[in-house]
Amino acid sequence: MMIRTIPVTPFDGQKPGTSGLRKKTRVFMQPHYLECFVQAIFASIGGVAGKTLVIGGDGRFYNDRAVQIILAMAAGQGAARAIVGQGGLLSTPAASHLIRLNKTDGGIILSASHNPGGEDEDFGIKFNMSNGGPAPESVTEAMYAATRSLSEYTLFEAPDLDLGRISTVTLGDMQVDIVDPVADYADLMETLFDFPAIRARFAAGFTMRFDAMCAITGPYAVEVLENRLGAAKGTVTHATPLPDFGGMHPDPNPTWAHELMAEMMGKDGPDFGAASDGDGDRNMVLGRGAYVSPSDSLAVLAANAHLAPGYAGGIAGIARSMPTSGAADRVAEAMGLPCFETPTGWKFFGNLLDAGRVTLCGEESFGTGSDHVREKDGLWAVLLWLNILAVRGQSVAEILAEHWARFGRNYYSRHDFEAIEADKADAMIAALRARLSGLAGQKVQGMTIRTADDFAYTDPVDGSVSKQQGIRILFEDGSRVVYRLSGTGTEGATLRVYLDRYTPGTGDLQLDPQVALAPLIKAAHGLAGIAEYTGRSSPDVIT
């Protein structure tokens, strides 16, 4: 056993995207590839000597190897302590919590989130800061710079640690605490929600289905829903995390969680349904016959959060990512709360949460969360919904209908065009960008364009500026189209088109969103020339 320094040549393209570095698993499995990125992470935080890190991942293929490599590198570079989930497992929100609970210097999370897992699928890695949140752009840029200049990495060479047993061991001079991945997180949930009220509701016959999609939330959902809240055994399906997610695509949306969707849309479905993604930070919630769009979910949660003990004193404010619908803004306005619009990606919420300016945050991509951690949190959102349902004693459909009648409804949809050739997607965006200044006043599909811009964000806390965060076309009637290219994919480019149209509470509130949005969809295709540039006339995934 010894400390070894290994010379390397830098790899191209180790540039973190919306949420860390994501590549095909086999790319990560190349000799020294993961090591080089980990070395760059260490460099971007001024080294790990004397520091404590949380380490864990969603259990996908290569998670186990990656954890051993990171431990060896941390030990070889003088880290004082590592806190690792048993088996190398931690959901993203649980990792965020452990970083905060133990006042550590940060953590490394292994996941490609909602992307499929397996030797031929996707893998990913990201660093979270001591506040528990994803590294901000300044740090990810430092990481990328380091990946291009490094010439060696150092590790402590030793046999693999046995991570299967909850225990404290040492690796060289580093202490390694192998902890229960679920317990602290489940305890945190008990402090936020009215567990007795939810338990009483389950005892009275309330039924639920939670589809963990063979990913990391299985053990968390079983412990919280079945063991602590008394939901029937079997409430959680696909509950065992598997390295390839059992072949499932753990993206909790109507397309990929179709099994749950079918059950919930049936007449005899459970009262409440939910699904989570690979690393446990996303959620989809459903009632019997009722789909809750993520943007609406944020708005409903914000309007009702005070019903849960953890938010009984009210919330400080709401933040949503720019492409997320304006539904939460209506709630903020009615409740006299500040509302912030940030670029896509949870890292942009961190400063607002740390400064106490917002309590709830959300993204249209099935992400909702609060100041309890610094990540979005799938199971947390499900529990807040359960708490609200238990207190209000209504169905999901009734709560949605009342919400829309009070605040109006933002008809909303996202259309994704996947695996487009990158240069075609870039050309389309570039052409659109070049035409932006001339669009105001033009009429499309009977609607007049009020303004068009390329979203830029100035962080109100530290003043940092992020440019080119999505192209927005805003119409005079309040409707909106947003175009963005995904920053989490591993193959070609994915074009996301976000569509939002407001109808007041006195209007028609029960339309199919695709019908309500039809003119806007046509306008979106025409304005950007989607078919001309990409050859695609219809999206691959609609949410």
The footprint of Co ion (CB under 5 A) covers 113, 277, 279, 281-282
SS3 assignment, position 417: strand
Residue found under tokens 């309330």: 206
Residue 350: which of 316, 358, 279, 277 has the closest Cα? Answer: 358
SS3 assignment, position 68: helix
DSSP state of 135: P
Least distance from Co ion to the Cβ atom of residue 276, Å: 8
Q: Which entry of Co ion, ligand VG1, none binds 295, CB below 5 to 8 A by partner kind?
A: none
* Nearer of residues 407 and 498 to ligand VG1, judged by Cβ: 498
Q: Which entry of Co ion, ligand VG1, none binds 365, CB below 5 to 8 A by partner kind?
A: ligand VG1
Our finding on whether 282 is near ligand VG1 (CB under 6 A) is yes
Strand partners, 457: 466
Considering only residues 241 through 270, tell me which ones interact with ligand VG1, judged by CB under 6 A: none
Q: Which residue is nearest to ligand VG1 (CB)?
A: 113
Least distance from ligand VG1 to the Cβ atom of residue 428, Å: 16
Order of strands, sheet of 107-110, starting from the edge strand that comes earlier in the sequence: 21-24, 122-128, 107-110, 52-57, 81-89, 174-179, 167-171
**Cα–Cα distance between 58 and 64 in angstroms, integer?**
10
* Nearer of residues 73 and 379 to Co ion, judged by Cβ: 379
Residue found under tokens 């997320």: 324
* Nearer of residues 239 and 389 to Co ion, judged by Cβ: 239
SS3 assignment, position 288: coil
Tokens of 381: 């959102």
Considering only residues 15 through 34, tell me which ones interact with ligand VG1, judged by CB under 6 A: 18-19
Residues 193, 194, 200, 202: what is their CA dihedral angle, to the nearest 10 degrees?
Answer: -10
Considering only residues 364 through 383, tell me which ones interact with ligand VG1, judged by CB under 6 A: 365, 367
* Nearer of residues 198 and 530 to ligand VG1, judged by Cβ: 530
* Nearer of residues 172 and 378 to ligand VG1, judged by Cβ: 378
Catalytic residue among 44, 111, 113, 325: 113
Considering only residues 148 through 177, tell me which ones interact with ligand VG1, judged by CB under 6 A: none
Options 64, 263, 281, 371; binder of ligand VG1; rule CB under 6 A = 281
Residues 306, 311, 317, 318: what is their CA dihedral angle, to the nearest 10 degrees?
Answer: -80
Least distance from Co ion to the Cβ atom of residue 92, Å: 6
Our finding on whether 277 is near ligand VG1 (CB under 6 A) is yes
Least distance from ligand VG1 to the Cβ atom of residue 256, Å: 13
**Cα–Cα distance between 293 and 366 in angstroms, integer?**
8
Q: Are 526 and 444 in contact (CB under 8 A)?
A: yes
Considering only residues 96 through 115, tell me which ones interact with ligand VG1, judged by CB under 6 A: 113-114
Our finding on whether 293 is near ligand VG1 (CB under 6 A) is no
Order of strands, sheet of 480-485, starting from the edge strand that comes earlier in the sequence: 443-444, 447-454, 471-475, 480-485, 493-503, 409-420, 541-542
Give yes or no: 395 in active site: no
Catalytic residues: 113
Where on the chain is the footprint of ligand VG1 (CB under 6 A)? 18-19, 113-114, 277, 281-282, 321, 344-346, 363, 365, 367, 486-488, 496
